[in-house]
Amino acid sequence: MGQTIGTAAAVFAGTNVDDIVILTVLFLAARAKGVPRPWKIVVGQYAGIAALVAVSAVAALGLTVVPDRWVGLLGLVPFGLGVRGLLAKGDDERPVASGVLSIAGVTIANGADNISVYTPLFRTAGTAASLVMVAVFAVLVAFWCVAASWLGSHRKVIDLVERWGRWLVPVIFMVIGVVILAGVLFSE
């Protein structure tokens, strides 16, 4: 059991280290602009991770849900959200991801690595161990959200976002999208 928990924690950390950046940006936006609401960030992250786990579990059962070459196209989601954020009029500044669905979408789009790691892990671990891993993932999502909220609570970082967030947040989302898309283009 201890080994399963350790493996799950290591796998989660390895596949979600990039989510810390996204979550921190979202919590910074929440503090600087009041949107998205912190509860939406947490629920969106849980929904996105749950979707990634579900797709991985189905894929582990031997079903091909989405061809590998198409998974990376999910990078268009954060890229599109970033473009939308840059194109928003100055008086109509909306956050890049403000609702549960858009936050879940960014998490899913950024989760191709999760699917590629979770699928073989679930396939080889068996049902009981996979359920333990999913429970560990659920606990670590909470930890990730708390850590990102803490990182986004520093006054200097909040000031930076208040001053440059109109450009910074959308650009970060666009870069994440490009990285995801590049992973598909250069993996073949």
Mean pLDDT of the chain: 80
Residue pair 15/114 in contact by the 8 Å Cβ criterion: yes
Mean pLDDT, rounded, for 146-160: 81
**pLDDT-derived band at 34, boundaries 50, 70, 90:** confident
Tell me: the pLDDT tens digits for 157-177?
A: 667 766 776 677 677 778 767
Domain that holds residue 134: 2-185
Among residues of the chain, what percentage have pLDDT more than 90? 26
Residue with more model confidence, 9 or 90 = 9
Query: At residue 23, does pLDDT exceed 60?
Result: yes
Query: What is the DSSP code string of 92-157?
Result: G---SS-SHHHHHHHHHHTTHHHHHHHHHHHHHH-HHHHHHHHHHHHHHHHHHHHHHHHHTT-HHH
Query: At residue 125, does pLDDT exceed 90?
Result: no
Tell me: the pLDDT tens digits for 50-94?
A: 999 999 898 877 744 556 566 566 667 768 877 887 887 555 555
Residue with more model confidence, 14 or 47 = 47
Q: Return the DSSP state at 58.
A: H
Give the chain's domain count. Answer: 1
**pLDDT-derived band at 128, boundaries 50, 70, 90:** very high
Residue with more model confidence, 93 or 122 = 122
What was the pLDDT predicted at 41? Answer: 94
